[in-house]
Structures are given as C-alpha cells and as structure tokens.
Amino acid sequence: MAANQHPQKPDEVLKHLMESVFEKAKKESGKDTAYGLSKYLNDVFEDSIDERSLTRYYNGYLLGRDSERTHPDEYVQNTLSSYVGFDNFQAFEKAFYVANENLEVKRELRTTKQKLKRIKIMGTSFSLLFLVLAIVFISKYYTKNCMIWVEDHYEKIRCSGLDNETELNEVVLKNFKKVEVCKDSFFFENGKARIHYIRHDNTIDFFTSSGEHPILKGKFTNPITQTIIESRVKDCDSI
C-alpha cells in the first residue's frame, strides 16, 4: 500500500521513526539529552549521519520545534529504519500503517461492544439475535491470523499480504524476541542455551529462542556457545 493512499501525513511516519530511533538509542546508551543521543547515534552510524542533523531531528520531531524540523533524505530514512529493525523506510512505513489500522479495528470493536451492551439491557430476543450475528461478523472479518515483526518482537495482525507478514504462530509470537546481551547475561539453563544468535553482515543478533530471522528470510538461529560469548558478546560495562 503506497504512502499516499493513507490519511496520515508523511511527517507522522517520520515522527514515529525518530521516536523509535531515539528511544532505542536511549536504551542502548543510557543517554537522555539531544546532544548525548545524537553523539551516540553518530558513532553507531560511523559518521554517515552527522551529529548536527541528528540533533535537529530530535528537536524538530520529538520536541516539536518546527524551525528545526528537516526532512531526511532517502539514505537517512533507510539507515534509521534499518537501525530499528526494518529492511528500509518503505518496510517501516508499511508497519506503521498496519499498526494504525489495528488501532482503528480495536476502536471499532470497542464501539461494537458498547452497542451490544445497551441492546442486552433491553432483554429482548432481538438483542440476543443481534449479539450472535455481531459475534459471527467480528469473528469472520477481524480475526488476526498473521503476525509481523515490529522492532524486537512479533505482533498479531489481520493477513493483508505485507512483505514481512507471516502466518500466526502463537509459540513464536510469545517466545521469539530480539534482545541485547552482555557477558553477565543468563545464557544457559540446565545445560541448554537460553539465547540464540544469527551472524550477518559483520553483525550478530541475539534472540530468546530458536527460529528463522524475522527480516533475513532463510537464515536460522543457532544456540549460543561459550566461544560466541567470549568472542562476540560485549562486556556489560561497555554497553
């Protein structure tokens, strides 16, 4: 679905992107100022996005300073989207609209339930019949049979043909999450690995269970080993 088919303005998608980027940076770095977060991200992106631009994004999109709100180019959009777990900005934008659509569905369901409650108070056979019909309608048209990866976990959605959409698996939905680890993390339990990993493009991702990488299709996790912990996991003091 193209962006221009949605009622939201492009700035709303960019605002959500900036919020996601700086929130992740805050968790990773422990910083909470525009300067500290921008400097941290500048290091993460190896100077490909300068501190000044990052600071303007923070002030413009998170603090609402219109005079500093600049529109990032395609490279910056894709780089920031990749940082929060998406292939590119287009994938992030699709997930944004799906999430907004799901919120709208929840509002519709809440409104329907309120109407049904008023009808039940009437105590008539018609209200009971309407309740049955409404439940059948909701079950048929609003059941979420798919899931999509959002930043570090899967979320239920209605199947709609999105690129990163996959068939709902309740076990994966509950147990498969991307996590940040350090050498003091709890890696094993009763001799079995609690953390799994995937290496790609000179980086390594850690997950809470085995399975296929949510973005890199065809790549599957391996149980963590002592060798990986010693060679690829950072000291807790360095995070």
Distance of CA 130 to the CA centre of its chain: 37
Lowest model confidence (mean pLDDT) among 34-43, 122-131, 148-157, 194-203: 122-131
| End residue of a domain, out of 84, 119, 142 | 84
Residue-wise pLDDT tens digits, 185-218 = 999 999 999 999 999 988 999 999 999 999 998 9
Residue 2 lies in a domain: no
List 199's β-bridge partners, or say none.
204
Q: How many CB atoms neighbour CB 210 within 10 A?
A: 14
Residue 116 lies in a domain: yes
| End residue of a domain, out of 69, 84, 99 | 84
187 three-state secondary structure: coil
**Total domains present in the chain:** 3
Both structure tokens of 38: 């921008």
For residue 119, pLDDT beyond 80: no
Residue-wise pLDDT tens digits, 17-30 = 999 999 999 999 99
For residue 32, give its domain range.
7-84
Judge contact between 196 and 207, C-beta under 8 A.
Answer: yes
